[in-house]
Amino acid sequence: MANLHTLFEIFHNNISICPSKKQKMMTSKNAIRKLIKETFEELHSEYKPYFYIQGSYKHGSSTRTEDDWCDLDDGVYFLCTPDVTPTTLQKWILEAVDGHTSFKVEHRKKCIRVIFSAKYHIDIPVYYLAPGDEHPYLAVKNEGWIKSDPKEFVEWLKGKKDKEGQLVRIIKYLKAWCDYQYFKMPSGLCMSVLAANHICYNKRDDLALLNTLKAIQEEVDDQKFLGAYWQCKMPTTPKDDLFEKYTETVKKNFLQALDDLIEDGEEAISTKSEEEAVDLWAENLGTRFPEIEIKEKLESLRQNSQIISSGIAYTSSDFKVGVQSIGVKNQPHQFFRSAGHALPKAEHINAIEQYSLIRQKIFLIASFPAFQCIIKGNKLICKAIIKPLNFCQSYQIRIEYQAGYTPKVFIEDPLIEYNSEIHVHADNSLCLHHPSDLDWKLPTKISEWIVPWIVEWLVFYELWKLTGKWEGREYIH
């Protein structure tokens, strides 16, 4: 039986929104909120807007499409009974955000959509919740108000989630599957409800996905057998049939695609060939499903990470992690997210400090000959190209050391964007340890402490690129 759980982990990362894009979306969301608040204060002061992020972003099940588009739903709420039509309220929101981007703002049926050039859009549904109302009402263009309670659904789905996050991953796999089809498929909300109602947990994501799909199919077959019209009912207000709006063609295509995915999934699980299993899953889930070589890379990185985490790692002179007593013994530490530190400016350097820089240079080159070092003013600057594993990319590293201060480490190439998840400071220097791990003094050697930690960081960074998770020991604060 082919076990592709690790490839599903990578697939999950491939379909997820990257941290830098999430940050851009949050910045845009805040800017839009500010525009709406200011506009209503000036032109419609009797209406005070409140906001609530909802939808897949709130659930943690956001994905990006094959062409890298994603979205965020940010509801606007008015805590009063409006004396204008729902369409008018929507138009007021549209007027508030019109011109914020170079794209035309869309007045859709149930929201105002603002599109951004960075390949995402923000949908702004409009609600009112009057005193005494149990549930809010959603504005529907040219129709009226309907009961709709996104927060109630958030709480319902929260109650269904498991601690390991498998339900959320299954939802995201289903959404990616829908996105890959060339014909119209049901919404992400439909996939969320179907997955939550039929989830079949398993230690392996490939088995969990297949068994969940079969549970969905079984319910469809049961309802057909009883002569009932198959529905996907919203579990919370307004408790409507989420499939009602779709044509018979959409429903038929969805059920046929479901049958095809189950058939190929069963074959992928039962085959002894991992290459064949990859092809079967990728045929249904798309080009972002990783190739078998990626699994081998992940397993090799995990092997290195386990050696590091066990405390028995050594770093060889060519920057490879091993367990043999060859090279430099890696010191224990925790990666730490902090604001970083700046090296002080010094116009003069005394003899002791000068000796310290020379000493560090000698020891560093003796242990790691690939380093090229120069003393420039009061700093020792050392550079090397480090490739933590043979299949990994190469990294141009720069170490800056000033006598008596913890060295700063930068990656010059490739460019790595600031991201606290991967332990990079705001100045793009690496955050390699917690202050309690190392009290830097003049005798402390860069070669014995900093360089092995750089190699460890690169191993965990390569892992993070595949899985989206930082797997090294870190200080949580």
Residues forming the active site: 71, 73, 123
Asked if 108 and 158 touch (Cβ cutoff 8 Å), the reply is no
Residue 337: CB partners within 8 Å, gap ≥ 6? 420, 423, 431, 474, 475, 477
> Which tokens sit at 311?
């405390």
Name the DSSP class of 309. Answer: H
Of 262, 65, 12, nearest in space to 178 by CA:
65
Asked if 155 and 59 touch (Cβ cutoff 8 Å), the reply is no
- Count of C-beta atoms within a 10 Å radius of residue 107: 14
> Coil, helix or strand for 373?
strand
Of 77, 27, 15, nearest in space to 52 by CA:
77
Contacts of 297-303 spanning 24+ positions with Cβ under 8 A? 297/391, 297/466, 298/6, 298/9, 298/10, 298/463, 298/466, 298/467, 299/6, 300/389, 300/391, 301/389, 301/459, 301/462, 301/463, 301/466, 302/463, 302/471
Q: Which residue has the tokens 């409140």?
A: 50
Residue 396: which H helix or E strand, with range? strand 395-402
Please give the Cα distance from 69 to 251 (Å, whole number): 25
How long a stretch of residues is the chain? 477
Please give the Cα distance from 252 to 470 (Å, whole number): 42
Residue 146: which H helix or E strand, with range? strand 144-147
Secondary structure of 221-289 in HEC code, one letter for each residue = HHHHHCCCCCCCECCCCCCCECCCCCCHHHHHHHHHHHHHHHHHHHHHHHCCCHHHHHHHHHHHHCCCC
Burial per residue of 67-83, b for 16 or more beta-carbon CB atoms within 10 angstroms, e otherwise: eeebbbbbbbbbeeebe
